[in-house]
Amino acid sequence: MVKLMLASDSKAALLLRLSYRSGGIKRGLCLLGLVFLSSCGGGSEDSSSAIQPPVTSAPKTGLLIPFETDEQLLSSLQVSLKRELAAVQQRQLLSAELSASDTDTGSSGGGFTTTYTQEASIDEHDVIKYDGNRLFIAPTRSLSCCFIVDDALPEGVVADGATEETLADAAVPAIRIMTTSPESAEIEETGRIELSDDHAVEGLYLNEDRLTTITSSAWWGSYGRVFDDLTTWQEQTSGLNVYDVGSPENTLLSQVKIEGVLITSRKTAEGIYLISRHTPDIEGLNYYPETDEDLEVNQAVLDALTIDELLPEVTVDGSLVDVLDPDQCYGIDADHELAPLELGFPAITSILLFDPQQGAIKDVRCYAESTNGVYVSENALYFTQLHSVESDSGERQMTLIHRFDLENLAYSGSGEVSGGLFLGDNRDFRISEYNDNLRMVTSRFTGDDTDLWEHQLFVLAPSSDEPALEVISQLPNAENPTALGKENEDLYGVRFLAERAYLVTFERIDPLYAIDLSDPSDPVIAGELEVTGFSNFLHPITENLLLGLGLSENGLAKLELFDVTDLNQPVSRTALEAGLDLDYSYSSAEYDRHGFTYQGLNDAADRLAIPVSGWGSGEAGFVSAERLYLYEVSDKETPDLAGLTEMGYLNVQNLGPGQYASSQSRSIIHDDAVYFINGEFVFSTFWQDPAGQQGPH
């Protein structure tokens, strides 16, 4: 951990500046600065009679610095709370003025598939986990949304395998444990882990006989959507529960909770990284002040606070533990050249590193600034932070990127780029680390009606002499001025693959851009292909074949196979639509990578499955559908002959009274068996016979 040591006569000075621009529309600016004064060593004034000590410069510090004392951290949080609540008051006044005016006038190979993740070596929590024998299904609410299926069984008829007892059990929130028989494509429930009502399970991790649940009392979706709202992050907890699923009792071994809303998590060899965000719930504080008197009362309440009232509490097996010290919390150095004008934020973002085998907390960090995204690579965890700067054309949106080493969570540098990443869902693929270089594609809303969007690619590298991330290249640039996207085209699918990157932009047609990153200091647009529709999700089949998943010009889910053997001239080899009997269809895998399933078989062919939701109208009236479409990729080692073949689909059907289809779907391919998980129901069949499906199980 980087720690800044102060000389004995050092002092910390706090400068607070609150100002409001005309009309009260924009919030005041607060400059929180830590001013460090260091004493100077002296030698004899007569240089001829004394040997002068060598002049050494102090090690450079990065944009982030740890807080040294409780008082420094407390001051930062107090000041930021006062600023944010003052800004709320201004918005309340403005809202009242406007209302009065109106009145007047979001793959794996081998024998079976596993969770599809952004990084091959980094596991992600998901609603199902499978070990080749047992399937664990969490009753998550994070993507649940129900549809009534038209071919539900008549009233009083119970679905195959269901009993009154099993229907009653289904009313109790529980993790289903299912045992598979791939040789017969069968599956049966062999256990349940009942859950409490106060926390929902948002996902699972599985490591041999240890099942870890990621829990939360609230779920808010992608990080960036509500990151400015203080009260969003109040009065909630996130946590981890570890169960011994090697025992018949599925014993609960360890339970950890931290105050804050779940943001995301990742699992590596070091353990599970749980990222959460917490706004303290302070008694007597008015979070929606309307008058100056409200602000005065708030100031008195805040001035009386202690640090323990502001930091998130952590419990292990119900007992409060002290794991967070000031020097484990980071803020921005006000004197750094990248420091934004507005510093500090009262919603604390925490990283909790947990060992699921030992059931113990290994490390904790917190960040007392505004953040809106998280990316975890094989080596590091990154926070992204949006802020605005003044430019000749008005305010310009910028993104700060802060890097923490995964092994010890030490801060290792920050950088800045133009535009925003807007991480969450499959937009996570817009950022990637490769050979110590960080690559990202940002977007900026220009406000220019002739060209609303500006997209840029940046490559950053660690500085050699300070904890910093330096921009070493970008596109477009003076030598390569071609824009990424035509006029008014938004950014859709992005995928970084080793020394290549692929981008899809769209307004009326789908340009696929192929970018050569073999020289990270000089990226170039190598080729471009225009096709109809667009791709939201890109998956590499081989180095020379790229699969796109999105929507066709007909409003149907579409898979397209691109041949990128010649990066200068990408070619579309096959395009297939799913749901030709429907008026509209889409695949949730477009924005949720965990819904995409890929099985690498051999040098000749692969298999893949995608969930498809859709609806239509016909003689029978309105029809909705939840399906799993199966495809084969042929001749993958001969790109100019490669193709896609639809094998058919499984369908959610035969549900009993009071049972509904879900928009949350997953799938597993194990040898020739296919398991389609829709909500908590499972349907199964053989790959060659999708119409012969069994279930719901």
pLDDT given for residue 449 in this prediction? 80
Dist. CA 519–CA 282, nearest whole Å: 52
B/e letters for 505-534, b = 16+ CB within 10 Å, e = fewer, are: bbeeebbbbbbbbeebeebbbbbebebebb
Chain segment 207-249, per-residue pLDDT in tens: 989 999 999 987 655 555 555 677 778 888 999 999 999 999 9
Pair of tokens at residue 325: 């010290």
Please count the residues of the chain.
Answer: 697
Window from 83-87, 305-309, 373-377, 554-558 with minimum mean pLDDT: 83-87
pLDDT given for residue 33 in this prediction? 32
pLDDT given for residue 150 in this prediction? 37
β-pair type (348-355, 271-278): antiparallel
Answer yes or no: is pLDDT of 141 > 70.
no
Give 346 or 416, the one with higher predicted confidence. 416
Dist. CA 313–CA 291, nearest whole Å: 32
Chain segment 6-36, per-residue pLDDT in tens: 333 333 332 322 232 233 333 333 323 323 3
pLDDT given for residue 197 in this prediction? 65
| Residues 166-191, mean pLDDT to the nearest whole number | 84
Burial of 139 (0-12, 13-18, 19+ CB in 10 A): middle
Give 137 or 488, the one with higher predicted confidence. 137
How many C-beta atoms lie closer than 10 Å to residue 546's C-beta?
25
Is the peptide bond preceding residue 696 cis, with omega within 30 degrees of 0? Answer: yes
Answer yes or no: is pLDDT of 98 > 50.
no
Chain segment 471-488, per-residue pLDDT in tens: 999 999 999 999 998 888
- For 408, 413, 561, the CA distances from 353, given in Å and listed in that order, are 10, 20, 40
| Residues 650-657, mean pLDDT to the nearest whole number | 93
Dist. CA 226–CA 247, nearest whole Å: 41
pLDDT given for residue 24 in this prediction? 32
Tell me the backbone φ, ψ of residue 159, rounded to 5 degrees: -60, 160
Q: Rounded to two decimals, what is the model's pTM?
A: 0.84
Pair of tokens at residue 511: 């340009």
pLDDT given for residue 59 in this prediction? 65
Dist. CA 127–CA 125, nearest whole Å: 7
Answer yes or no: is pLDDT of 441 > 60.
yes
pLDDT given for residue 390 in this prediction? 81
pLDDT given for residue 153 in this prediction? 37
pLDDT given for residue 102 in this prediction? 39
Is residue 256 very low, low, confident or very high in pLDDT (cuts 50, 70, 90)? Answer: very high
Tell me the backbone φ, ψ of residue 101, rounded to 5 degrees: -65, -45
Burial of 132 (0-12, 13-18, 19+ CB in 10 A): middle
The residues facing 222 across adjacent strands are none
Tell me the backbone φ, ψ of residue 47, rounded to 5 degrees: -70, -20
Chain segment 259-299, per-residue pLDDT in tens: 998 999 999 999 999 999 998 888 998 888 889 998 999 89
pLDDT given for residue 341 in this prediction? 86
Answer yes or no: is pLDDT of 4 > 50.
no
pLDDT given for residue 234 in this prediction? 83
pLDDT given for residue 235 in this prediction? 86
Dist. CA 574–CA 422, nearest whole Å: 31
User: For the chain, what is the mean pLDDT?
Assistant: 84
Is residue 345 very low, low, confident or very high in pLDDT (cuts 50, 70, 90)? Answer: confident
The residues facing 178 across adjacent strands are 135, 189
Chain segment 602-648, per-residue pLDDT in tens: 777 899 999 999 999 877 778 899 999 999 999 999 999 999 999 99
DSSP notation for 369-419: S---EEEE-SSEEEEEEEEEEEETTEEEEEEEEEEEETTT--EEEEEEEES
Answer whether 37's CB lies under 8 Å from 9's CB. yes
How many C-beta atoms lie closer than 10 Å to residue 170's C-beta?
18
| Pick from 365, 364, 385, 388: nearest CA to 375 | 385
pLDDT given for residue 15 in this prediction? 30
pLDDT given for residue 535 in this prediction? 92
The residues facing 576 across adjacent strands are 559
pLDDT given for residue 57 in this prediction? 56
Highest mean pLDDT of the ranges 2-16, 148-162, 289-303, 458-472: 458-472
